[in-house]
Amino acid sequence: MKIGLAGINVGTFAVPEFGRLATLAEELGYDSLWTAEHIVLHDLPPGNVRPGTMPFLDSSAVLGYLAAHTRTLKLATGVLLLPQHHPLLLAKQLASVDVLSGGRLIVGIGVGGVEQEAVAMGAPMQERGSRADDYLRAMIAMWTMEHPSYSGRHISFDGINAYPRPVQKPYPPFVVGGRAPGALRRTVRFAAGWYGYAMTLDQTRGILAGLDAARKAVQRPAELGDIEITIAPAEPITPETIAAYEAIGVSRLLVRPDRDHSLDEAEATIRAYAPARA
């Protein structure tokens, strides 16, 4: 079982000093660091909705920064809200991170679930799925075609090019987040893996069953291989938790340090859940 860290760009972690914790995580045997994303949020949120004052460092910026503090850790977006990005700009940003990290990028993508955010970003909720599929294909075209071109509902281009290309060939692995049937079909069609945040063991079993059903409805390219499952579990990560998730086919668990804790408290959490101690 691989063990990583989730939400490493959020809350009190959204500071340059997190670089030393990334270095520590690598020394302690963690395999990956995962960001989260909201571009904008409610200014005056109702109830328990997360406010716009919660710091979220931009994923591309923070992963490029952490690439300089690490040598072996995978650097992952968990997850980018793909419909809210221009796919050509995002392809450039992610290729840059892959180059700067020496080919360590994992591209986690989702479609988002905050309507105010989607509207403000010009990505209507009813177009989330079609935009995500269009943008994925456009990014793949930019990364893999000698003379990139693409024609889709939401993005079309021809006669352009962009370098550098990603270090990883044919392109960095995609991981899809999202529990809706469309997200599971997108996983089968495009992705190396699936990512779930704050999941229970029973919820994870349900997702695995959903992926099995999606495989019967959507053809999976043979070159993608098996679907790697990454879970940031709701339960504490213990040897028993690891064994239970491993038994159902999960490949990676992510520790979720409390985003409201101090860096010293986060360091204590990172040390406590280090893979060598699990």
Closest C-alpha among 125, 85, 142, 126 to residue 108: 85
CB 6 within 8 A of CB 232: yes
- Is pLDDT above 60 for 187? yes
H helix or E strand, kind and range, residue 3 = strand 2-5
Crossing angle for the helix pair 263-272 and 18-27, nearest 10 degrees?
Answer: 10
* Pure H helices in the chain: 18-27, 59-67, 87-100, 115-120, 128-144, 181-190, 201-217, 239-247, 263-272
* CA angle (185, 63, 223) in 5-degree steps: 35
pLDDT of 48 reads 76
Domain spans of the chain?
2-277
- Is pLDDT above 90 for 44? no
- Is pLDDT above 70 for 5? yes
pTM over 0.95: yes
Closest C-alpha among 250, 111, 249, 256 to residue 178: 111
pLDDT of 47 reads 78
Average pLDDT of 183-208? 98
pLDDT of 50 reads 81
pLDDT of 213 reads 97
Digit-coded pLDDT (tens) for 94-125:
999 999 999 999 999 999 999 999 999 999 99
- Cα(61)–Cα(54) distance, rounded to whole angstroms? 17
Average pLDDT of 79-94? 98
- Is pLDDT above 70 for 276? no
Residue 28: which residues within 8 A CB-CB, separation 6 or more?
270, 271, 274, 275, 276
Digit-coded pLDDT (tens) for 129-138:
999 999 999 9
Give, in order, the Cα–Cα distances in Å from 29 to each of 157, 165, 204, 256: 43, 29, 25, 16
Top CATH class of 2-277 equals: alpha beta
> Token digits for 20?
């030393």
- Is pLDDT above 60 for 278? no
Digit-coded pLDDT (tens) for 160-171:
999 999 999 999
- Is pLDDT above 60 for 92? yes
Please tell me whether residue 231 adopts helix, strand or coil conformation. Answer: strand
Average pLDDT of 202-217? 97
- Mean pLDDT of the residues in the chain: 96
- Is pLDDT above 80 for 75? yes
pLDDT of 194 reads 98
CA 224 to mean position of chain CA atoms: 17
- Burial of residue 119 (CB within 10 Å: 0-12, 13-18, 19+) is exposed
